[in-house]
Structure formats: C-alpha cells, structure tokens
Amino acid sequence: MSHPLLERLGIAEHPRVVASATESSDRVVVSYSPATGQPIAGVRLDDEGSYEQTAASAVEAFKRWREVPAPKRGQVVRAIGDALREQLEPLGELVALEVGKIRAEGIGEVQETVDIADFAVGLSRQLYGLTMPSERPEHRMYEQWLPLGPIGVITAFNFPNAVWGWNAMLAAVCGDVTVWKPSLLAPLTAIATNKIAQDVAEAMGHDGIFQLVIGTDEAVGKRLVADRRFPLISATGSCRMGRAVGQVVASRLGRCLLELGGNNGIIVEPDADLDLAVKSVVFGAVGTCGQRCTTTRRLIIHESIADAFVDKLASAYRTIRIGDPLETSTLVGPLINEQAVASFERAVSAAREQGATLVVGGSRVAPSELPEHLRGGHYVQPTIFRAPGSSLPIAMEETFAPILYVFTYSRLEEALEMHNSVDQGLSSAIFTSSVRSAERFLSPSGSGSDCGLAYVNLGTSGAEIGGAFGGEKDTGGGRESGSDAWKAYMRRQTCTINFGEQFALAQGIRFE
Ligand code: NAD
C-alpha cells in the first residue's frame, strides 16, 4: 500500500517509485520519515546510462526551448505556479513527511516556490539589457541576455522543494532547461515537484524542460558536475560539498552558483525591543529543528542584559512542543536521521569540554517521552550554551541541529568582530532602536556585517524571495531568487553595429 500523500500527488504509480521497498540497495533508495523512522517508499536510482540519456535529452530540449520567446516561457511558468498552488497542501505535507519540518513550514516552503514562479512570470518581460553610447560615429552598442544552456541543479535535503523552485523557475524564463539532482534524503518530494512542472510544460507543448536525475554522488552527482554540457552548476549544500563541486566546475571553466553552509549570528544591543528579539531568536534557532542554512547559531548579546535575556529564552524553550511534524500543535520536529543526532551529541560534548555552560536542552529526547509511533524518530532538545568567553571553537562550525551559543560583549565594535569571526557569511541580524548602531551594522564601507543577508530588528531566517539570496566567504558567494539573480542563468552579449560606411576603430586607432 502506498502512502496516501503519494496517491494524492499522483506519484504512487510513478515509474521511479517502488512503494513496497523497505531497504535501500544499489538500485533503490528508501526514503524514511524522520518523525517515525519508518520507510515511506523506495525510489529507483539512475545509473551512468540513464544519466547519459537525460543529459542528452536536456541538450536537445534546450535547443527547442530557447526559441520560445521569453514572455511565452513566462506563460508556462505561470501555469506551473497555478498547478503548485493547487497542490500546496499535499506537497507541503510531503515535505514535512519526508524531511521532518513542521507542516506550516512545509506548506510555507511550497508557497515560496509559488512566489518565485510569480516573480519569474514578471521577469519574463524584463530581461533587460543596457544600451550604451558608442564612441564611434554611426555605431550603436547594446547588450543582450541570452539563454545559457541546460543547468545542473543540486539540492540539499532541508529545502527539497523551494531551492529547486528558486533555480528552475528563473532558469525556465531565461530559456534554460533544468536537470535536477535532489538529495537522496528527499527524493519523493523531488519526484512530486518535478512531475507537476513537467506535466504542465508538456501539456503546453514543451517536453524535457524540467528533468530529474536521482542517484548517488559517485554515479550521478559527480558526473553532472564534471559534464561540460552544463555551463552552470547551481549547488546548494554543505561547504564541504561546495569545495568539491567548485573545484571540478572551475577546472572545466564552467560557472558555479554555490549556496553553502551558514553560521549566523544575532547581535542584541541594550536598547533593543527585547520581546521582539526573544521571539526572533527562538524562531531563528529552533525553527526547522535548527536545520536551515539561515538558522541562528550564535547570540551575541550586551553583557548588561544577557542574564535576563537568556532566562527568558530558556523559559520559552521549555514550552516548545516537540513531536510529530504533521500535528498542528508541534513547533519542533525531528532531525533528519541518526547521523544528525550523532553530530548534535558530538557538538554538545565538545561545547562542554570547551568550557561552555549548558542552559537548557543538551540531550536527545528519550523514546520513553515520545508517543509510541514516534519512538523510531530522531528527536533532540533545542539547546542553549553560554560560552566561557569570546571564543568557543565548536561555535565556529555549522552543526545542523538546534544549538544556540551565547556570547556577551561590552562594546558594539567587539560584537561586530565576534560576529564576523566565523568562516561562513550567510545571514546576520542586529536588534537595536538606535539608528547609529543599525547603520554601523550596515555600514556602506562594508565594515559592518560581512554576510550576504543583513537584518535590523528581525531574525536571521525566513528570507523573502524578492531579494537576492546568498552569502559570502565559505557560504560560496552565489545569489539566487530575486533582484538580478536571474543574470546567473543567462549569458551576456555586447553587440556593436556599424550602420555607416566608415571603417572606424575604437581608441582612435588608425590602420590604413
Ligand atoms: P550535503 O552537502 O551533504 O548535500 C547537498 C547535495 O550535494 C546533495 O544533493 C548531495 O548528494 C550533493 N553532493 C554532495 N557531494 C557532492 C559531490 N561531490 N558532487 C555532486 N553532488 C554532491 O548537504 P545536506 O546535508 O543535504 O544539507 C545541509 C547543508 O546545506 C548545510 O550545510 C546547509 O547550511 C546547506 N544549505 C545551504 C543553503 C543556502 O542557500 N546557502 C540552503 C539549504 C542548505
């Protein structure tokens, strides 16, 4: 019997889905519910041969798709957005089922894909190039943006729908075809999502625009990254993955769009609205069970308010309902798997050994504290540590779990230095009512926050799609989603036309 959500989404009979599989093999990967530890279904894996077929068909599909005028491509994306709207609830629930985020966040994730589809529809009439005056008489100069090619999209487990959306919806209006390699921890969401897009595009007469390869990194991931037919590889995941992918793509002089790990901090000044700050820190630190790239991992708080603030945080943490992500009263679901629990436990031990003081949490949730059906799940307690001083080595790493490290400071300059001391540079925030402190954090000289995202009086996670999303330093430098992120999916051509009869050279060079 297939899971009812697979039936609702029309993928129970999908050729890739093996509903009865309970164990992974060379050919099938089983997707497990992190909430229960039970298998949901198996998914057939691609191998070298089927990868090759997909890549070759993407090249052919690109040749057809780029000939479709951009506003017409936008019509296809509009219809995909509408189809996703219709499936918002079951698809959001499948996200929650497969990766363990709570139902509201699962649905919110699909809403993000709907939003980026809307954005992309508008964009399909706004792929503007500049015109510039030529220095030569009777010459005209302008630039145009052209489709780039088939795009390889590699996604992480924790946003199994929206990260594809950010890439695929923009790539589609830009005239590109997407080949998506999802995480093997969330292949069912990928099949359901891709099917919606592919069905709509096919019904409108466009085959092969959205393709999927599901396989191991050895058989499929590395092959895609090294494949010269893909001028752009957009890869979301850990810094470790980004280093490997970045090197291979650079060695073939391809383009990379890297969206990697974060180690995000919030600075709280003594003049901040503390209620607002507490709510934002709690959501940022425990939302998605600490498994967002933008999760708040470090709180850097003025020493004069630290004790009272941490007390409030700890009280809030004690009221958090941990449990089944599909139950509406749950605020925190499970970690993705047992490896994630082990890395949570390693970080907790390291923090203790390095002299940090445990404030709240610190353990996995004992199976005896869980209802029977959740006892195979991977639940941990949201955790707060106070650092012994301004440095704590474990806090320099991204542990993909709900652990918040608290540091104190006396001067804002000191807080900024601590904030910027980590290798990653994704998201950052300050809570203050002082214009001076806020502007210092956002200083136009670049000496404030060193991150790609900087917020004042709101937390580090929950970005809107309208802005360009991404981070600096070890986060990889990529930008996706809004603003002019679309330019990554196109190639720029500078065009110069001589409409006169003179042979005129730039820089006044005479060659006669
Ligand atoms: P991961 O690095 O283990 O895997 C990410 C993806 O990369 C998977 O699809 C994986 O199969 C693939 N992959 C790994 N090595 C590869 C290789 N050598 N060649 C080709 N593909 C390869 O990450 P994860 O555990 O799935 O996700 C968590 C990480 O992702 C965290 O570090 C998180 O911060 C990051 N993340 C970043 C963003 C962002 O936008 N910056 C968004 C979501 C997640």
**Given strand 210-212, what is the order of strands in its sheet?**
210-212, 177-181, 150-154, 232-236, 255-259
122 token code pair: 């508008």
Q: Could you please report the per-residue DSSP string of 87-110?
A: THHHHHHHHHHHH---HHHHHHHH
Q: Please give the distance, rounded to the nearest whole angstrom, from the Cα atom of residue 258 to the centre of ligand 1.
A: 10
Predicted local confidence at residue 358, as pLDDT: 98
Sign of the alpha-carbon dihedral angle for 362, 364, 369, 371: positive
Q: Please give the distance, rounded to the nearest whole angstrom, from the Cα atom of residue 96 to the centre of ligand 1.
A: 19
Predicted local confidence at residue 512, as pLDDT: 81
Q: Please give the distance, rounded to the nearest whole angstrom, from the Cα atom of residue 493 to the centre of ligand 1.
A: 32
For residue 249, what are the CA distances in angstroms to 201, 228, 254, 412?
A: 29, 9, 5, 40
Predicted local confidence at residue 493, as pLDDT: 98
Q: Using CA positions, which residue lies closest to atom 14 of ligand 1?
A: 241
**Residue that has been written with the tokens 């964009």 in this structure:** 123
Mean pLDDT per block of 10 residues along the chain (512 residues) reads: 94 95 93 97 97 98 98 98 98 98 97 98 98 97 98 98 98 98 98 98 98 97 98 98 98 98 98 98 98 98 98 97 96 98 98 98 95 97 96 97 98 98 98 98 98 98 95 98 98 98 92 86
Q: Could you please report the per-residue DSSP string of 403-417?
A: EEEEEEESSHHHHHH
Predicted local confidence at residue 158, as pLDDT: 98
Q: Using CA positions, which residue lies closest to atom 28 of ligand 1?
A: 237
Using CB distances shorter than 6 Å, the residues near ligand 1 are 154-159, 181, 183, 217, 221-222, 225, 236-238, 241, 244-245, 259-262, 293, 398, 400, 426, 471, 475
Q: Please give the distance, rounded to the nearest whole angstrom, from the Cα atom of residue 259 to the centre of ligand 1.
A: 8
Q: Domain ranges in the chain?
A: 48-260+476-493, 264-467
May I ask the CATH class of domain 48-260+476-493? alpha beta
Q: Could you please report the per-residue DSSP string of 416-479?
A: HHHHTTSSEESEEEEE-S-HHHHHHHT-TTS-S--SSEEEESS-SS---TTSEE--EETT-S--
Q: Using CA positions, which residue lies closest to atom 35 of ligand 1?
A: 237
State which CATH number among 3.20.20.220, 3.40.50.300, 3.40.309.10, 3.20.20.140 fits the domain covering 264-467: 3.40.309.10
Predicted local confidence at residue 390, as pLDDT: 86
Predicted local confidence at residue 263, as pLDDT: 98
How many whole angstroms from its chain centre is CA 173?
20
Atom from ligand 1 closest to the CA of residue 154: 9
- Contact assessment for residue 359 and residue 385, using Cβ atoms and an 8 Å cutoff: yes
Predicted local confidence at residue 49, as pLDDT: 96
Q: HSE-up of 346 (CA within 13 Å, CB side)?
A: 12
Q: First CA to last CA across the chain, in angstroms?
A: 82
Predicted local confidence at residue 1, as pLDDT: 77
Q: Could you please report the per-residue DSSP string of 145-208?
A: EEE--EEEEE--SSSTTHHHHHHHHHHHHHT-EEEEE--TTSHHHHHHHHHHHHHHHHHTT--S
Predicted local confidence at residue 400, as pLDDT: 98
141 token code pair: 């100069």
Q: Which residues are catalytic?
A: 259, 293
Predicted local confidence at residue 371, as pLDDT: 96
**Residue that has been written with the tokens 């894909």 in this structure:** 113
Distance CA 395, CA 392 (A): 6
Atom from ligand 1 closest to the CA of residue 262: 34
Atom from ligand 1 closest to the CA of residue 471: 41
